[in-house]
Amino acid sequence: MNEQATIVGKIKSMIFRSTDNGFSVLKLRLYELNEKDVFVTGYLPELPKDVLFEFEGNYIEHPRYGMQFSVSSYRRVLPSDRDSIVQYLSSPLFPKIGKKMAEKLVEVMGEDLLETIKQTQSIDVTISGLTEEKKQIIIQGVCSTDDLEEAVRFFTTHGLGIRNIMKIDRIYGDKAMILIRENPYRLVEEVDGIGFITADKLALSMGFDENHPLRQEAAMVSMVMDACMRTGDTYITYEIIEQWIQSRFDFWLEDLDEILERCYRKATLVLDDQRIYHHTQYDAEVTISQFLSEFPLRPFEETEMDIETEIYEFEQTIQIEYDEIQRKAIHTFFDQDIMILTGGPGTGKTTIVRGIIEVAKRCYPQYEIITCAPTGRAAKRMKEITNTQSMTIHSLLKWDLESNTFGKNDAEPLLADILILDEFSMVDNWLFAQLCKASKYIRKICLIGDQDQLPSVGPGSVLRDLISSNRFTTVSLEHIYRQQEGSEVIRLAHYIRKGEFDVQHLHQDVRFYPFSPYEVKNGIMSIVEQALLKGYTPYDIQVLAAKYNGPAGIDTLNHSLQKLCNPPAVDKREMMIGHRLYREGDKILQLKNQPDDDVFNGDIGLLVEIIYNYEDENKQNRLIVDFDGIIVEYTSETFINITHAYCISVHKAQGSEYPIVIMPAILEYGGMLQRRLLYTGITRASRSLILIGQKRAFEKAVATVSIDERKTNLIPLIEQTPQKKP
């Protein structure tokens, strides 16, 4: 039964298809043995029903499901007799063609018409009703699918998964096999989600030598980028590379200098005074320093109106009174080209920004103001507070996910005069560099952030570097203004900034409940249940955890909280995707930016509908999620972009606020018990904060100051670059 065999037939039905890796179970109606069906299994893309396929593989006896045909490769078989060709061309694969047109084509071009179209990629006949559009539909249907199937056959043979094959096809199209046969390691730089390990397995399977220069260079470039993403540094040293080579590729040690030299020549790596950069990080630091040294290219015009008078008028409008520090901050913005506004929660950053925007509108009505933030929720909050059209940095710059490029850049700059950027501590070097490239028409910039929060996920520490350079006016706010609901949270945050944690500080809006590590989950469940009974919704309550695994980890808590917040019901559909069970009514977290759908990493939505593949005309499972009125549809391609949001990481919550935050801490969190992480988490609470777990764990977090000594060269570059004369 293990001998290779070939079977031919049409797909009768899809029994199962994994959304994670494309593993499929199909029922196939055999072509030569009419009415006989066989179960086919293997890693396959979604294949149409109206097409004849030839599958290569072998029959296996499954212990539970009996005889099956295990596929190793497949190809589409073009029909060759008149009736089959007519049926094929009038199938849904060729919209707008129809049976009559298919019959005319066979009559005029003969029964070898499909092979003719495939070879010539053209239709050189004139038939009434056969428009140029219809010709292209037929040509593309006959030829393009064939290219994809050939690529799938080639790549699956070499161990590449269907999901990655589809990404490759979208980027390279019919040139995929040519380009990747030449250099499979290009996938690392050019295809999102494919790293060195995946590309290397493919290359070695294709016969690339383990000492091939392309392999050596790709390994080196990937190592530098991975190290920077792990540490937050923008460069690494020769010693680090040497240690890595010794642990992974010791047989390259003698060639290390020569390998690096090749990378420098190709500019994939950059050597700068003993610092070794990935080219994207080097370009980012140079771009930022040059932009800041030349800024602004367009001067800010003088106004005949009095800034102080307009501040007073705005105070009367919203019935507040700015103190001396706040008034000075507003004046500073109009006096300086770039102002950095930093401070903890409740110190009045938002109130000052509102004043800046309103005074700018009154004194400079001719100027366009844009506000943005790194996350969707932070941008939404900025919009609500300032009454301006705020958006994410990615949306502002018109980011294209597929190519990882921006529509707004040096050639197509932003058409605005004043730029206000919130949550600046979350912005990494590379993203800020892209914003700088698009900002040559900007006249004034205000950067707002809290340098005590977690630094950016990506390499760099831009907020810290700009402040430390002493080139830019920084207004640091210390006084706590907010005394209303949630003020106890703010007070605790400022204690933690100073390294103090005492349960005596916890009262009113802030509570601490002691629990052992294995009791924490039940404690959280009890607190959430009480909040729900009081009328709060799952969207008012956010549990934040430091780790994904363990008894008080994100995965465990999400599983339990789903049962409590959204229990099974007869009228709620469910779908198992990977190891997660989704249910209509679930609270959903977006994990990746999807700019075309206007949803971004960290956004939270509601799963409103589950559609099963047998109900869908394209035979796909679908999840429909509502993100505050933005409806997004997820299929097998994008299921990986979402997860449950009952409990999320502090990093994912950064830039957002929630009425109630529940934050566990146990000693098992280990190295994640850091002051910055705790500070960032508790400042997400706008009304009420509940700390739960081990007191010693919270004390350890407060005492552990992770010194943010990210290695960057931005400060020296700023200092070395001549500043524009006023």
Least confident of 285-294, 304-313, 608-617: 608-617
Whether the upstream peptide bond of residue 716 has omega within 30° of 0, thus cis, is no
Share of the chain above pLDDT 90, in %: 59
Same domain, yes or no: 446 and 375: yes
* Structural domain contains residue 339: yes
**pLDDT (tens digit per residue) in 10-22:** 888 888 776 555 6
pLDDT band at 65 (very low <50, low <70, confident <90, very high): low
Q: What is the mean pLDDT of residues 530-549?
A: 96
Q: Does residue 549 sit in the same domain as residue 642? A: yes
Tokens found for residue 416 = 């605005």
- Predicted local confidence at residue 612, as pLDDT: 86
Take residue 478 and report the two structure tokens written for it: 């210390």
Burial of 468 (0-12, 13-18, 19+ CB in 10 A): middle
Question: Residue 519 domain-assigned?
Answer: yes
pLDDT band for position 549 (50/70/90)?
A: very high
Q: Are residues 322 and 455 in the same domain?
A: yes
Work out how many domains the chain is built from and give that number. 3
DSSP letter for 571, please: T
Say whether both 621 and 507 belong to one domain. yes
Residue 210 belongs to a domain: no
Residues 33 and 141 grouped into a single domain: yes
- For residue 449, the 8-state DSSP code is E
Q: What mean pLDDT comes out for the span 678-702?
A: 95
Phi, psi of 445 (to 5 degrees): -130, 135
**What confidence score (pLDDT) does residue 638 get?**
87
Do 46 and 133 reside in the same domain of the chain? yes
Could you tell me if residue 349 is inside a domain? yes
The CATH number linked to 35 is 2.40.50.140
> For the segment 253-276, what is each residue's pLDDT rounded down to a tens digit?
999 999 999 999 999 999 999 999
Nearest to 417 by CA among 387, 446, 379: 446
Indicate which CATH number applies to the domain containing 427: 3.40.50.300
- The answer to whether residue 189 sits within a structural domain is no
User: Is there a single domain that holds both residue 472 and residue 604?
Assistant: no
Q: Which residue has the tokens 């070499």?
A: 158
Q: Which domain holds residue 364?
A: 299-483+713-720
Extract the tokens encoding 561: 């909280």
Last residue of a domain, one of 147, 173, 189: 147
What pLDDT band is residue 724 in, cutting at 50, 70 and 90?
Answer: low
Q: In this structure, are 418 and 500 located in the same domain?
A: no
pLDDT for 706 equals 74
pLDDT mean over 426-439: 98
Q: Are residues 344 and 492 in the same domain?
A: no
One domain for residues 379 and 421: yes
Cα separation, 528 vs 530, in Å, equals 5
Is it the case that residue 229 has pLDDT exceeding 90? yes
Query: Taking residues 679-702, what's their average pLDDT?
Result: 95
